[in-house]
Amino acid sequence: MKEYPYIFYPQNTLLEENLIPAKNIRTGLSESFFEKKILNYFKNYVHKNVVIDDGKSRPYHPDYVLHIPQYNLYLDIEIDEPYSLRGKKPIHTNDDKDEIRNQYFLDKGWGIIRFAEIQIIKFPQLCCKVISEYVRNISGDHIWLEGFHEIEDLEIVDAWSTKDSISMASNAYRQKYFSFLKTIKQVKPSVSILVDGIYLNNEIRNTIRSLKNDNTIKSFNKSVKNSLFLKLLSSYLGHFKNLEEIKGKIFIEMTIFISNYHSIESYSFDSELVEIENYVINIYYIRTHDLICFSIYDKIQDEKLEQVLLIADDPAYPQLLEDLTNTEFILVRNYHNTSMSPYIKYISINSTIESALQIKSV
């Protein structure tokens, strides 16, 4: 019996095919949830609601298409559910339909990754790691896996038979993990933590270099742990005035912007959802070939973010921030040699980084 994730590498030479918009495509609940994760991390490379234009009257509709031109890569990414919510009919069982579909894409030189729906709901970041590993294996470019070195691998899920599917439907299997989804889905964050990955990585590297010369330190992590870093930052979130509680929880969103041209190997995405006291912090990361300062500006402006904890320091930021008069900022940066305006509230990044390295003294 097959296991999820179900992974196929291209078997044939890629056939040049045009992608055209698909019509009347319904987006399921799990796809809507996963969409923000995958579209952010694989920004500019992921396409949704497209089909191959090869004359088929009823073309196959990929859940997502990952197209990276420089690697000549097309990847069909699918989310498989065990049964339909309407009618409770078994789907994606061990029949020939999925195999025929898979062969269609393989014949065209595409790759395929099929995830079980529960993997997408519970571990979306680990699913992004699987996709990143796939890209690394095709391209040989290790930059795609940076930051994932301390995060666990995605747990394998056995495929289901028709009998299994019927049993799952009778026990409301999908509804159980949908309840997990509802805790974080579509909640507007009270505070957005936006991180310039190039700046953060440089600061971590500088901190690690200085610690190597400190004889009082026995050992420390080679990278900052995401969960520890957020725990230390969370003590400053109360500086913002408007923190809306939903069922006793305050929802925060952290987005780390990573450049396709710079490394972030000093940072570890060891968690994707962090709960600290009454804060629930949902974590996203955007890998982009655009300038990070403009990507951050666009996010603040497009999403009308009102309260932002910004981890950045670059001469381009002050002028950009002046235009965002409806946004309250707290800046996290190194106190020394800063390019930022002195008229905004600041938090020093140094002690936060050191603590997130889990230093052990002699």
> pLDDT tens for residues 11-69?
888 886 788 888 756 666 677 778 878 887 887 899 988 999 888 888 899 999 999 99
Rounded to whole angstroms, how far apart are CA atoms 106 and 86?
A: 31
The 10 Å Cβ neighbour count of residue 104 is: 17
pLDDT classification of 145: cutoffs 50, 70, 90: confident
Least confident of 135-139, 166-170, 212-216, 307-311: 212-216
Q: Are 64 and 36 in contact (CB under 8 A)?
A: no
Residue length of the chain: 362
pLDDT (mean) for 106-129? 92
Domains of the chain in start order, with CATH, are 3-181 (no CATH), 191-361 (3.40.50)
Q: Are 87 and 166 in contact (CB under 8 A)?
A: no
Indicate the range of 99-108, 138-147, 168-177, 329-338 predicted with least confidence: 329-338
* H runs (alpha helix) in 113-269: 117-122, 124-139, 162-170, 173-181, 197-212, 226-233
Of 148, 192, 176, 137, whose CA–CA distance to 327 is shortest? Answer: 192
What tens digit of pLDDT does each residue of 198-233 get?
999 999 999 999 898 888 998 998 899 999 999 999
Tens digits of per-residue pLDDT, 305-345? 999 999 998 888 888 888 898 999 999 988 766 777 777 78
Give the mean pLDDT of 234-241: 91
What confidence score (pLDDT) does residue 184 get? 53
For 173-187, how does the pLDDT look when each residue is reduced to its tens digit (9 = 90+)? 988 877 766 555 557
What is each CA distance from 90 to 87, 166, 178, in whole angstroms?
A: 9, 6, 18
Q: How far are the Cα atoms of 52, 112, 343 from residue 12, in angstroms, in the given order?
A: 17, 13, 59
